[in-house]
C-alpha cells in the first residue's frame, strides 16, 4: 500500500499532491491525462480534479489545448526560495567563486537527497561560451563524484540499505553493481576524494569531496573537466584546490 492510500482523506490528498508534483519534476515537458494516470495510478476523475486545482493555483500548467500538463512556475519560486534561504549555500558562495577562479573549470555544490544528489549552486567553466547550469537538477548518487563522496561518509551496511543491488546505468562507464561501488567507496574514504570517470557524462571527468561539517555529510563540492583537457598536473591542482575549499567551507558551515 502506498502512502497515498493510507491515513485520512486530507493526508491522502496532500500526499497525492506532492507525488504528482514530484512526477512532473522528474518528467520534463507536457503530458496527457492518460499518461499521468498511468504513471501515478490515481483514479482518473480524482486525478483530473487535482490537476485542475493545481492549474488554478499555478503549480501545474497546461498547453493551449488544455489537455496536456506540466510543472508550473510556482514550483520554481519555491525551489528558488529554498536555495536563497539555505545558510550553507550562502556561506559557500565566496568559496565556490574562489574555486572557480583557481581551477577555471565548472564547480558544483550539491546535497544528498535519498539516493540522488541535488545541485544547489554552480559556477560555469571559463572555457565554455554557452550558458549551462545544473541548479535544481537531480542525478543518481552512484554515478557522480559528488554522490560517491557523500556515500563514502556512510558505513557499508548503510549504503547497502540505501541502494539496490543493481544500479542504473547512465553511460558505459557507470558502476552498476552495488558491491563494486562499495569497494570504490573504500578508496574514496582512504584518499579523501571521489572520481566520476565518465560515469554520468561521456567525455567528462569529475572530482568531488564531501563537506564534513556534519556526520554523515550531506553536502559536497566538485570540479568537472573534459577528459581531453585533463593533464596529470591539472588533475593534481584540482584535487589540492578542492581540499583547500573543503576545509574553508567546513569551518564556515560549522560556525552557522
Would you state the pLDDT for residue 202? Answer: 93
DSSP 116-170: EEEEEEEE--TT--S----TT-EEEGGGSHHHHHHHTTS-HHHHHHHS-SB---S
Would you state the pLDDT for residue 253? Answer: 92
Would you state the pLDDT for residue 5? Answer: 47
> What is the chain's length?
256
Q: Which CATH class is domain 86-254?
A: alpha beta
Q: In the chain, which stretches have pLDDT less than 50?
A: 1-9, 129-131
Q: Which CATH class is domain 3-76?
A: mainly alpha
Per residue in 11-58, pLDDT tens?
Answer: 788 888 989 988 888 888 899 999 999 999 999 888 999 999 999 999
Would you state the pLDDT for residue 7? Answer: 47
Would you state the pLDDT for residue 137? Answer: 85
Would you state the pLDDT for residue 68? Answer: 94
Q: Which three cell numbers stand for residue 180?
A: 563494486
Domain ranges of the chain: 3-76, 86-254
Amino acid at each position: 500500500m502506498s502512502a497515498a492510500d493510507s491515513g485520512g482523506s486530507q493526508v491522502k490528498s496532500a500526499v497525492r499532491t506532492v507525488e504528482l508534483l514530484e512526477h512532473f519534476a522528474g518528467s520534463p515537458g507536457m503530458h496527457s491525462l492518460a499518461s499521468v494516470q498511468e504513471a501515478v495510478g490515481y483514479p482518473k476523475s480524482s486525478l483530473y480534479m487535482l490537476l485542475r486545482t493545481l492549474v488554478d493555483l499555478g503549480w501545474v500548467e497546461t498547453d493551449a489545448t488544455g489537455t496536456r500538463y506540466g510543472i508550473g512556475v510556482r514550483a520554481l519560486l519555491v525551489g528558488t526560495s529554498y536555495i536563497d534561504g539555505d545558510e550553507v549555500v550562502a556561506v559557500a558562495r565566496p568559496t565556490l567563486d574562489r574555486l572557480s577562479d583557481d581551477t577555471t573549470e565548472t564547480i558544483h555544490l550539491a546535497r544528498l537527497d535519498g539516493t540522488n544528489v541535488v545541485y544547489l549552486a554552480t559556477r560555469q567553466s571559463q572555457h565554455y561560451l554557452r550558458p549551462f547550469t545544473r541548479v535544481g537538477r537531480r542525478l543518481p548518487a552512484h554515478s557522480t563524484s559528488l554522490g560517491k563522496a557523500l556515500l563514502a561518509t556512510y558505513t557499508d551496511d548503510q549504503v547497502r540499505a540505501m541502494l539496490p543491488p543493481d544500479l542504473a546505468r547512465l553511460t558505459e562507464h557507470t558502476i552498476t553493481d552495488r558491491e563494486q561501488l562499495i569497494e570504490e567507496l573504500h578508496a574514496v574514504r582512504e584518499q579523501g576524494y571521489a572520481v566520476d570517470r565518465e560515469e554520468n557524462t561521456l567525455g567528462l571527468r569529475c572530482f568531488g569531496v564531501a563537506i564534513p561539517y556534519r556526520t554523515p555529510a550531506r553536502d559536497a563540492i566538485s570540479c568537472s573537466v573534459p577528459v581531453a583537457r585533463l593533464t596529470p598536473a591539472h588533475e593534481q591542482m584540482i584535487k589540492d584546490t578542492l581540499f583547500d575549499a573543503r576545509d574553508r567551507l567546513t569551518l564556515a558551515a560549522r560556525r552557522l
